[in-house]
Amino acid sequence: MEIKKENDKNTVYNLFKLPIEYNEKTKKIFDNLKNDLELTKNIDPTKKSIYQHILNPSTNIGEQCLDKWSENYTTDITFLTDTQKLYKNIYDLSINKENIDKMTSIWGKIKDDKNFIEKYNYMSWDKLAWLNKSKFYLSLTSFYHITSPVWNLLSPLFALVFPFVLLKIMRVPLNMEMYKKVLEKQFKNHIIGQALTSFTTVPMYKKVYLLFMVWIYFYNIYQNVISCYRFYRNIYLITDNINCIKEYSELTLKNIDLILFKIKNLSSYKKFSIELDMYRDKLYKFNKSLNLLNLTGSFKQRLFDMGNIMKEYYCIYNDSELNNILNYSLGFNGYIDNICGLRENIISKKINQCKYGHEVNFKDMYHPAIEGKIVKNNVKLTKNKIITGPNAAGKTTLLKSTIINILFSQQMGFGYYKSAKLYPYDYIHCYINIPDTSARDSLFQAEARRCKNILTSIEENPQARHFCIFDELFSGTNPYEAISSGYGYLTYISKLSNIRFMLTTHFVQLCNLLDKNKNIANENMETTIDNNKPIYSYKVINGISKIKGAICVLKDLKYPKIILRKSEKILKKL
């Protein structure tokens, strides 16, 4: 198998694929479902997203990997049971947060550095770029950059001695005494010589010229000293970065070996195992080359190995295959971070294992984001459900809890419940937070369009199992047409045996119209009234709610009393 050629650091998550992405029975999660359920991003930036709750990422790369989880779910029960076996057997898996975050930072800086070639004194001319992989050339340039101030300081001496050596090579009859007299004669005739020997008597322009040449000489020495210092500092930066990458690759190899060992008998993980093993071999060879470098010795020892060190660092920056290996490894570590976080939820019993069969039944189910006292509910989908109740009674939370736990159970095999049985769904549809787009649709048009899209999916896939949630169906139009349209739509889809839906509504008349439908059950969020105030239990019970709680909400928000009195007066007449 060949490694894909991906060069950009942003392709980390395109190269690494979660095990579920290799499964042939995967289904795509609809975009609106991601947004409506706040799977990867909470509308309140101070609160966690749904996947942050279940996967508990501890590293930057783990946070970024959450998006991959929101792409797919599966109907493959073999894969889901294999996944459960894996997640219950990762007690010895660990993630080094400090090293992973440091590696992520270093990798980002290397790939984002537009001045990398100039900064580290590599050959910038494309036709000679091959020299950047030459140990001999890089050793010479490293030696030059370290010793350049000395060469510059001694350059006048070289300028004096070199002609004599050249003449001797050419076998010109000349001794040092004769050469010295020739130099003195030439020196006196030169403007610099005249200025030095007769500085007080020479014209001003010669004095200025001499001073300028002296300034140039010492300025060159200064520049070379600065260049030498920068190179010296870069040597330490390069060796520190390579040391971090070396440690990172060793820790990654350890986790890859652990995962490969744990999935070797899981048949549905075979494709994932093959590709992981391929990248493991590539990463091992890279790590082996880093082990040959002298990264911890004295500066003198490192200097003698600078050719090798500079070559490896350039390859880290420029080699596309090595880039792919490191990108893949970062995605892998994001996955490891995520399943380690999942393990913590399993150990603490926040989530439990799902069983699979031909029914859908959740016991003591709840929403992942609930804080404080958690109220759990039982949901059995032998029939379609219509949920009623006053505002803030927990209707929408119940819908979201159900669809989120179905999704988790078809991705990871675990969910926020005490126990569960699930007959996997092929399509999961969501009708929440319908946008009113002034550019195209009114609110009701947008609602109708979403319902039509769901209907089309059902009609185009008549053999598939569908699960749908509807929050306040057709609330964007007047109550009469909302009830009539809702009745027609729900009556139609409730006749289909491969469909299950849950719906919340305030339209009691709609519930009454559908009460005798044998495929639909009316339920409500238990609420009692005490001193004209609703008391919510957040428990679901049978029947249609008769509680009116909207005016209580107005009271809690301290609406003017005159508004409240008139509202109550009209309510009694309706």
| 51 C-beta neighbours (distance < 10 Å), count | 27
Domain assignment of residue 4, yes or no: no
Q: Which CATH number does the domain housing residue 245 bear? A: 1.10.1420
* Residues 40 and 172 placed together within one structural domain of the fold: no
Write the DSSP symbol of residue 2: P
Helix (H, G, I), strand (E, B) or coil at 272: helix
User: Is residue 450 one of the residues assigned to a domain?
Assistant: yes
Whether residue 394 sits in one domain with residue 311:
no
pLDDT digits (tens, 9 = 90+) for 347-360: 999 999 999 999 99
Structural domain that includes position 31:
9-117+235-347
* 56-102 pLDDT tens trace: 999 999 999 999 999 999 999 999 999 999 999 999 999 999 999 99
User: Residue 3 has what pLDDT?
Assistant: 40
Q: Give the three-state DSSP class for 345.
A: helix
Q: Verify that 301 and 387 share a domain, yes or no.
A: no
φ, ψ dihedrals at 433, nearest 5°? 55, 55
Query: CA–CA separation, 162 vs 151, rounded Å?
Result: 14
Question: What is the number of structural domains in the chain?
Answer: 3
> Considering 324, 347, 370, which residue would you say is the last residue of a domain?
347
Q: What are phi and psi of 212, to 5 degrees?
A: -65, -45
457 & 567 share domain: yes
pLDDT score, position 544: 93
HEC states along 20-87? Answer: HHHCCCEEECCHHHHHHCCCCCCCCCCCCCHHHHHHCCCCHHHHHCHHHHCCEEECCHHHHHHHHHHH
> Do 45 and 194 sit in the same domain of this protein?
no
DSSP string across 257-276: HHHHHHHTT-GGGHHHHHHH
Element spanning 568, H or E = helix 561-573
Domain presence at residue 131: no
In a domain, 123, yes or no: no
- Does one domain contain both 519 and 418? yes
> Residue 128 in contact with residue 137, Cβ under 8 Å?
no
Same domain for 177 and 326:
no
Please tell me the pTM assigned to this model. Answer: 0.82
If asked whether residues 326 and 365 sit together in one domain, one would say: no
On whether residue 270 sits in a domain, the answer given is yes
Task: Examine residue 1 and state whether it is found in any structural domain, yes or no.
Answer: no
Strand partners, 420: 354, 362
CB 74 within 8 A of CB 425: no
pLDDT on residue 224: 61
Residue where a domain terminates, one of 347, 380, 401: 347
Spatial CB neighbours of 542, under 8 Å, sequence gap ≥ 6: 521, 522, 523, 524
Q: What is the Cα–Cα distance from 329 to 107, expressed in whole angstroms?
A: 12
Q: Which residue shows structure tokens 């198998």?
A: 1
Report, in this order, helix, strand and coil percent for the chain, each rounded to 5: 60, 10, 30
Tell me how crowded residue 436 is: count the other CB atoms within 10 A of its CB.
12
Let me know if residue 126 belongs to a domain.
Answer: no
**Is residue 128 domain-resident?**
no
529 contact partners, CB below 8 Å, separation of at least 6? 535, 547
Looking at residue 53, its pLDDT comes to 95
CB 377 within 8 A of CB 536: no
| Same-domain status, 405 and 499 | yes
Whether residues 516 and 405 fall in one domain: yes
Which helix (DSSP H) or strand (DSSP E) does residue 408 occupy? helix 395-409
Residues of the chain with pLDDT under 50: 1-9, 438
pLDDT of 190 reads: 53
**Cα–Cα distance measured from residue 110 to residue 241, given in angstroms and rounded to the nearest whole number:** 10
Which of 231, 259, 285 lies at the terminal end of a domain, its last residue? 231
pLDDT confidence of residue 266? 96
CATH number reported for the structural domain that contains residue 421 in this entry? 3.40.50.300
Are both 382 and 507 inside the same structural domain?
A: yes
267 and 213 co-located in one domain: no
